[in-house]
Structure 1
């Protein structure tokens, strides 16, 4: 049976990008999309289009929706997605599957109105989308990365989230979005508007002229008491352009630090031996894995007294496990678990007799690699019995979806480090307490966040590894 959904809009003139998203979704999923417009008269923005920049015309040119239904013709059994100022109409509907995408009228609008609303509200302020159901009193926030990407990429994130909302309405798929909170809205002062172009320019200078890159930093475990970064000591680079993604492995015979080493802009995996007491390097680093694609996040684990590694190799569209033939320097491919998707920063954790595997999945090229966290579980991580968690994605929030290191216990709490990529990749590191981890449910809450003070030369925070009284992380210097 062909699925149906109705989109309720203020006007039958919408932005080109919006119409194309719905057209592509309908064809790809064999969904019949109908439109109900509260106002079908008036004109589009064609008069203004010849005066607008080409990039604005490309996305926000007017497109007229034909054969629109009147509100009285709606099928009350079909799911409805209403945009913006349609609350009064939705309040009178007896359909329980009516969702309102707030600020949606401006998002769908064409011309300068649609462009300015997106640029101001989402690209500058970083406000989330909010979609709600007045019947069930549910309200969710949708975040996507904003100021670190160009306008066209941000529209890709928006497209991906609109498709997720439709999947939820039509097929009742889990979405993982956080419950809306007043704290989700951040009003930046006017100086942010003035400062931002200069900040972008300085970042380019920093990368090209000053050769800024990721570097490892050592801190005290006391930093976790208030989740603030204190007593930072940079670990000097022995080779490469930058180091990131630290992971510590204790073999008994030595303590080793695995990390991503950036060479000519591409990541490869390297290892250092550390002093057990001070965690200072004992000799030079050595490359342990290099491929044509970018490698990072070398998660090392010990299973039955044998060492394995799950590196990130999302450019190859697979998730693979490697086995140590001569730890820690020689590794061979053991097995490919998934192929055909981009899996990012896979983080396994053994808990209550099972392996729990967290990994961010980038489903579409225009989607985000920071948004959707998937969870799997199994009895034996080395076999092909990884079970898909029924709540996937368990987290859909760029503020704390992507993994930032191994899970650990702190003062009786199970903590999952996660990257905060809302306005900048690796802008901060949030610590999430896992409240429930079972085969049926997953729940977590944010306890705090690592950020460097403005008077420090470091910026961003990405990954942490704990050992004894020390923490090794990475930052942008």
Structure 2
């Protein structure tokens, strides 16, 4: 039961990802925080955004260390980035996070991280943005993906992910799969793992094409989980060959204090970029929360059936 807890804070940067990649100092880029959580040891993280009917729809994980089951929340902002709506739009019996949302094939789709369910479920909006239903399971031949990220490239759908086994030990392996349509069939790349590196082998945001080259934000977990974000460039991405190269870790401005200890999501949303950054909270309260949670689990196991 760790005494120190990761606490994430989510915000909106007033610049596109392409600008952030070439500026070593983000101090002059306007930004705003998303709403703070109401209680200690709760956080919002993993933001993904889409514009629809003139409003920015941000989907993200909300998490409480008291129950350790993430849910997917929606925050809607008007063109002046004023919050006009906030609600939970997806919850399951298992933990949900990293809710990539995209519009394709005549619908809106969400692929949340849900490896504790034993599969990866792709959801479709029956009424955007607040009603979602399972559309299909992405079958990777028994392999479970962590932080799976979709993108469209050269008339194929690509899924870039870290396999669950690698994520539990150390997030050091990057895998790729491809398909003709979102619901498959999916084919694991023969070159997997396409990258082995704890500093650049776990997805961390929205894939974008810059100057004709696909770029995926990836997490640097070489020192700590979510220690930073760096760009990973795909110089080649075909069903037979993948070539990648990693850029430098992106800066975390001092004005984000006290959230200076890491970043693990960077998501493009038109002319703005969503991000999360963390601090670690050292508190006996955090240990008390863990103790109560473990005691509750023990009582449930011992309760008569």
Alignment pair present for 1:472 and 2:271: no
Q: 1:224 aligns with which of 18, 21, 26?
A: 21
Q: TM-score, normalised by structure 1?
A: 0.52
> Does the 8 Å contact 1:238/1:284 carry over to 2?
no
| Matching residue of 1:74 | none
Q: TM-score, normalised by structure 2?
A: 0.79
| Matching residue of 1:355 | 157
Alignment pair present for 1:390 and 2:161: no
> Does the 8 Å contact 2:37/2:44 carry over to 1?
no
Q: 2:179 aligns with which of 374, 378, 399?
A: 378
Shift of 1:467: 2.5
Q: How does 1:283-294 map to 2 (within 5 A)?
A: 283-294=84-95
Segments of 5+ residues of structure 2 without an aligned counterpart are 280-305
Aligned residue pairs: how many? 267
> 2 CA distance for matches of 1:317 and 1:448?
34
Q: Greater helix percent: which structure?
A: 1
> Does the 8 Å contact 2:146/2:162 carry over to 1?
yes
Encode CA deviations 1:424-461: one digit per residue, 9 max, x unaligned: 10000011121111111111111222232568321200
Give 3-state SS (helix, strand or coil) of 1:338's partner.
coil
> 2 CA distance for matches of 1:366 and 1:348?
21
Give 3-state SS (helix, strand or coil) of 1:259's partner.
strand
Higher relative contact order (CA 8 A, sep 6+): 2
Shift of 1:287: 0.3
Shift of 1:289: 0.9
> 1 CA distance for matches of 2:221 and 2:59?
23
* RMSD (CA atoms): 2.5
Cα pair distance change 1:238/1:281, threshold 3 Å = farther
Q: Greater strand percent: which structure?
A: 2
Q: 2:228 aligns with which of 428, 440, 455?
A: 428
Flag the structure with larger Rg. Answer: 1
Shift of 1:228: 4.8
> 2 CA distance for matches of 1:469 and 1:250?
10
Greater alpha carbon shift after TM alignment, 373-382 vs 418-427: 373-382
> Does the 8 Å contact 2:229/2:264 carry over to 1?
yes
> 2 CA distance for matches of 1:323 and 1:452?
34
Q: 1:246 aligns with which of 30, 36, 47?
A: 47
Shift of 1:284: 3.9
Encode CA deviations 1:381-406: one digit per residue, 9 max, x unaligned: 123x2112110111121111111111
> 2 CA distance for matches of 1:394 and 1:359?
10
Encode CA deviations 1:240-295: one digit per residue, 9 max, x unaligned: 7211111112233643110001133431001111223x4x2422421011122111
